[in-house]
Amino acid sequence: MKKDIYIASRFLTQNITGVQRYGIELSIAIKKLNYEYNIEFISPRNIVHYEIANFLQVKQIGILKGQLWDQISLLKFLKSKGNPLVLNFCNSLPVYYENKIVIIHDIIHLKFPVSYSYSYRKYYEIIFPLMLKHSRHIITVSEFSKREMVHYFSINENKISVIYNGINEKFTSRKLNSNERYILGVSSIAYHKNFVGLIKAFQLLKNDNVKLYIVGGLNEKIFGKDSKKILTEVKNSSKIKFIGRVDDDKLIELYSNAICFVYPSLYEGFGIPPLEAQACGCPVVLSDIPVFREVYGDSAIYVDPYSPEDIAEKIQMLLDDERLRDILIQKGFENAKKYTWENSAKSFFKVLDKISLL
């Protein structure tokens, strides 16, 4: 008899950033494999990703939204089903519900609180420790994040499993006939993403014929002390372009035709965009932080994220050295092949098997 497992899918009600992409892609891969478990996806009613919800055959429950849905509607539903095992790929589940597996991507809210609103920080400062304590198991996205949680929350490392991110197979090289030369940055634009550092570095480059494209949501309220001033200065620049959110087809084109992709984050739990860039044949420049060394090895150029001068120097190397770009492109292709959502789904079922034996 198949065991009933529920995946709380509130990520289907949210705009897609790295966390939501993890939830969506891993859910699709799980649905395709679905071994000996009876897995059902449940969500609030305010779904925005309809095609994905239809594929997952999502059941909509309750009338609440957001965190209230997590803590009230979802809990009530689970109680009515006899307290089955539940998971959520995007951080939050009923706090005191014991039969759950919590997926925690990172602890950025503790390391870089300036990236989030006061209410968000306070909610997770209270909820995180309780949710981790009242869980059967924890999943995270890198060995680095696992070490962080063991350290900050004094959790037994045997209670935490790592399931890496993957890349959708549609991320492949798509070259266009264009003479425009640009450097690309992609992510939600929060303080710890360090896009102000990227802008400062770009302004130090010697090349007049190169532009900087930045893809992602722009919210000046979450930038650091000097950020708003810098952003105001560059908004009207002919060489720096804030593109905003784009669909995957446009993103693939941007990756494929960029001179390089720069991801100068001060902190990450994993970081999907550099993998997508590598899969599209774009050399990547990354912050020299532990998680990037873990995931990308020698397939990237590393920079001091706190030094715009170092970031600029490494970008300049790629602008000037075609052979170095080609080497990084080939290493990037090889590295990206390691990370598939099918492999992530297989790891997920191994975790379920482990939990079932406990």
pLDDT digits (tens, 9 = 90+) for 207-227: 889 999 988 765 555 444 555
pLDDT for residue 345: 95
The per-residue pLDDT for 85 is 95
Which of helix, strand or coil describes residue 302?
strand
* Residue scoring higher pLDDT (157 or 208): 157
Question: Which of 131-135, 227-231, 331-335 is the least confident region?
Answer: 227-231
pLDDT surpassing 50 at residue 235: yes
pLDDT at 121 over 90: no
Please check the confidence at residue 46 and state whether its pLDDT lies above 60. Answer: yes
DSSP assignments along 123-182, one per residue: HHHHHHHHHHHT-SEEEESSHHHHHHHHHHH---GGGEEE----B-TT----------EE
pLDDT band at residue 113 using 50, 70 and 90 as cut-offs: low
> Model confidence over 303-346: pLDDT tens digits?
999 999 999 999 999 999 999 999 999 999 999 999 999 999 99
The DSSP symbol for 69 reads: I
Average pLDDT, the chain: 89
Give the tens place of pLDDT for each residue, 93-109.
899 999 999 998 988 87
Using CA atoms, how far residue 174 sits from 285, 335, 336, in Å, is 20, 19, 16
Q: State how far the Cα of 144 lies from the Cα of 254, in Å rounded to an integer.
A: 29
Domains of the chain: 3-166+340-357 (3.40.50.2000), 181-336 (3.40.50.2000)
Phi-psi region of 325 (alpha: psi -120 to 50; beta: other; left: phi over 0): alpha
Instruction: Please give the torsion angle defined by the CA atoms of residues 292, 298, 304 and 310, in that order, rounded to the nearest 10 degrees.
Output: -150
Confidence of residue 4 (pLDDT cuts 50, 70, 90): confident
Helix ranges restricted to H, the chain: 18-33, 50-56, 66-68, 74-80, 108-111, 118-133, 143-153, 195-204, 227-234, 248-257, 273-279, 290-296, 308-320, 322-336, 341-357
pTM of the model: 0.89
- What is the average per-residue pLDDT within 176-198? 84
CB 184 within 8 A of CB 213: yes
Question: Which residue in the block uniquely carries the two structure tokens 């003479």?
Answer: 179
Beta bridge partners of 6: 40, 86
Residue 276 has pLDDT above 50, yes or no: yes
pLDDT digits (tens, 9 = 90+) for 247-272: 999 999 999 999 999 999 999 999 89
